[in-house]
A and B are shown apart, each in its own frame.
Chain A
Amino acid sequence: MDSAAYSQDLAAVWLTLKLATVVTILLLIVGTPMAWWLAHTRSAFKGIVGAVVALPLVLPPTVIGFYLLLTMGPNGPVGQLTQWLGLGLLPFTFPGLVIASVFYSLPFVVQPIQNAFEAIGERPLEVAATLRASPWDAFWSVAVPLARPGFLSGAILGFAHTVGEFGIVLMIGGNIPDKTRVVSVQIYDHVEALEYTQAHWLAAGMVLFSFLVLLALYTFNPARRQVL
């Protein structure tokens, strides 16, 4: 294995981890209020929002990528906004990839957190209110600690799912070393070039990584019986 290709592989691994970390953090920030709203709202829009959030579960990544490409492209509304703001265009950049990944992994973070909030129910929050906790206080001191398993699942799934994405990266990011060339794309390149050995160590690495992630999920996050 020559060292140049090896360092390219390492760069792809590093980029993948960076992307997944940034996306996971953003998803926790964006997904938590969405999960809270979905868990507590009685709005008629709940079904619509829930369905939109879940769309990436069923749509081919190329479809999401295609529309994001159009939206963020020079003639798309987001593209025109970013140009007007002097930020240039997002496709084929790392930030563009981050935004696309946030959409793509959204349900994997929102749904576990939403389920956790729903499982808590109203009672602990009512109790917190009778103990003089404001809604904001009750959210942090009661809802978040009680929903911890949901946050853990959401973060792990969001991270793992972002690591594993391929189609959307090709559509939005292309294949630019150090910017958008993540591990899954690198593996594809190796296979195209018949470099099976290099494809192997990356692919086997992904298998091991995914297994460890799921193992962590099932080990550290057993369905605990909680006495309320």
Chain B
Amino acid sequence: MSQNATIPEIRARFRVVRSDFSLDVDLTLPGRGVSALFGHSGSGKTTCLRAMAGLERASDGYFALGSTVWQDEAKGIFVPTHQRALGVVFQEASLFPHLSVRGNMEFGQTRGQIRGQMRGKNNAAASERRYALPEVADLLGIGHLLARAPSQLSGGERQRVAIARALLTSPQILLMDEPLAALDLKRKLEILPYLERLHRELSLPIVYVSHAPDEVARLADHLVLLDQGRVVASGPLNDVLSRIDLPTAFADDAGVVIEARIAAHEADDLTRLEFPGGHIYVSRHDEALGTLLRCRIHARDVSLALLPPVHSSILNCVAATVVDLAPTDTPGHVLVKLDVAGEALLARITQRSALKLDIRPGLALRAQIKSVALLA
């Protein structure tokens, strides 16, 4: 099978009108990496995902992955779910209780292969991703569970099996509907590394529905904000996160995600990370030099100074230029968007300080970063 040189785009346009709810979205998502659909409950993100899967049929809809069109109501095309090369992971693992873990995984594998062969005959150019069971079991750390019944697994294990099961159908896209929402924090933290691994090691595009800002920050490359069935913003993660004109989607969690490379492990138990805008220190993080890490910097953890601070305990201080500022929903505070050598950074400061320092677009200053959350 030939691998397409260009990455296929995901095009999704759905219009669903119900008495109590309407969805009207028109999205173009990158054909690789994780695209997160973020919004509060009732924002339409799950309906959108179900429409992509073909589980819900939008009367006015279009959905295509590259040249594969799965729905085009204008032309009367609607490919039923079982004929779409996609994998779905639901909020509850929904494993089949009458099958073992291995049986669950093989359920989709055998059927996916048969359909893959059928498709291959019709469309020789269809690029196929094939995963073998041991390889996938290993990727998700469930190799030792294959003989068990679903009832003998923990919630986190069940969800990992559900992800493995979806992958084994050899999908061209993976749809995940709040896969961590039903799990407690401990289980969540147990699964997140596997999701990150999926993200790193597979070229498969993933559409990830979530209402948890921390999951989005950790996993997403592309972010779609949904509100009441409408797209509020859609773009690369940091472009959307650093917009200060949006309704307060993230509220207190406002902040940006930057990628930084481990530059040095220093003697006093600090690790130096470098990113285009400078360097930041974090507590010692034992990974190889050159490793790329995702760091989340909350707006509430960034303060501003006109001069390089001399008498300050805050170690991380980068040169920045004010791009814009806007009121935030925290009373008496403003959100300031900064440019740090091309990277966006947000700072939340008081209205009073903004006036005192005369913060205005174009002003060059120093951003002090009180804390950085390492995400990977």
Q: Which residues of A contact B (CB under 8 A)?
A: 123-124, 126-135, 137-138, 141-142, 145-146, 148, 225-228
Other-chain residue from A131, A225, A227, A228 in contact with B108 (beta carbon distance below 8 A): A131
Known: A227-B150, A228-B92. A130 touches B112 (CB 8 A): no
B131 contacts A by Cβ under 8 Å: no
A146 contacts B97, C-beta separation under 8 Å = yes
Partner of A130, one of B86, B114, B115: B86
B151 within 8 A of A: yes
Given contacts A129-B81, A131-B108, A132-B115, contact A228 B97 (CB under 8 A): yes
Scoring A131, A141, A142, A146 by chain B CB atoms within 10 A of each residue's CB, the highest score goes to A131
Is B107 interfacial (CB-CB < 8 Å)? yes
Name the 4 nearest CB pairs between A and B, nearest first: A131-B108, A132-B111, A130-B88, A129-B81
Contacts of B112 in A (CB 8 A): 131-132
21 contacts between A and B (CB under 8 A): A123-B90, A123-B92, A124-B96, A126-B81, A127-B94, A130-B82, A130-B88, A131-B108, A131-B111, A131-B166, A132-B111, A132-B112, A134-B82, A135-B82, A142-B96, A145-B98, A225-B151, A226-B97, A227-B97, A227-B150, A227-B151
- Shortest C-beta distance, B328 to chain A (Å), equals 40
Residues of chain B with a CB closer than 8 A to A123's CB: 90, 92, 94
B95 close to chain A: CB less than 8 A:
yes
Alpha-carbon distance between A228 and B111 when the two chains are bound, in angstroms: 21
B43 within 8 A of A: no
Distance between Cα atoms of A225 and B53 in the complex (Å): 29
CB distance from A226 to the nearest CB of B (A): 5
Binary A-proximity of B50-66 (CB < 8 A = 1, otherwise 0) = 00011100000000000
Q: Tell me the bound Cα distance from A148 to B83 in angstroms.
A: 27
Q: Determine whether B165 belongs to the interface, using a CB cutoff of 8 Å to chain A.
A: yes
- Bound CA span A131–B87, Å: 7
Q: A126-B55, A130-B55, A131-B82 are in contact. List 18 more A-B contacts (CB 8 A).
A: A123-B94, A127-B88, A129-B80, A130-B53, A130-B166, A131-B108, A131-B112, A131-B166, A133-B82, A135-B82, A137-B82, A138-B82, A145-B96, A225-B151, A227-B151, A228-B92, A228-B94, A228-B97
Q: How far is the CB of B52 from chain A (nearest CB, A)?
A: 11
Query: Cα distance A123–B158 when bound, in Å?
Result: 16
Contacts of A131 in B (CB 8 A): 82, 107-108, 111-112, 165-166, 169
Q: From residue A210, how far is it (CB to closest CB) to chain B in Å? A: 30
| CB interface residues, B 64-108, toward A, < 8 Å | 80-83, 86-88, 90, 92-98, 107-108
Min CB distance, B316 to chain A, in Å?
45
CB distance from A159 to the nearest CB of B (A): 24
Q: Is the CB of A141 within 8 A of B81?
A: no
- Contact residues of B with A, CB < 8 Å? 53-55, 80-83, 86-88, 90, 92-98, 107-108, 111-112, 114-115, 150-151, 158, 165-166, 169
A130 contact set on B, CB distance < 8 A? 53, 55, 81-82, 86-88, 108, 166, 169
A residues in contact with B111, CB < 8 Å: 131-133, 137
- A132–B108 touching, CB < 8 Å: yes
Residue of A nearest to B165 (CB): A131
Quick check: B81 and A228 within 8 Å, CB to CB?
no
A124-B115 in contact (CB<8A): no
Residues of B contacting A128 in the complex (Cβ-Cβ under 8 angstroms): 82, 107
CB pair B97–A132 under 8 Å, yes or no, is no
Measured CA separation A128–B107 after assembly (Å): 8
B-chain residues with CB within 8 Å of residue A126 when the two chains form the complex: 55, 81, 88, 90
Which of A124, A132, A142, A225: most chain B CB closer than 10 A? A132
- Inter-subunit contact A228/B95 (CB<8 Å): yes
Chain A residues near B158 (CB-CB < 8 A):
227
Minimal beta-carbon separation of A101 from chain B (angstroms): 32
A133 vs B54: C-alpha distance when bound (angstroms): 14
Q: Measured between alpha carbons, how far is A63 from B112 in the docked complex, in Å?
A: 54
Cβ of B86: which chain A residues have Cβ within 8 Å of it? 130
Bound Cα distance from A130 to B98, whole angstroms: 18
B165: shortest Cβ distance to chain A, in Å?
7
Which chain A positions have C-beta within 8 A of B95?
A: 227-228
A146's nearest neighbour on chain B, judged by CB, is: B98
Interface centre among B53, B54, B96, B169 (most CB of A within 10 A): B96
**How far apart are the CA atoms of A142 and B104 in the complex, in Å?**
11
A132: chain B residues within 8 A (beta carbon) = 82-83, 108, 111-112, 114-115, 169
In the bound complex, do residue A129 and residue B96 qualify as a contact, i.e. CB atoms below 8 Å apart? no
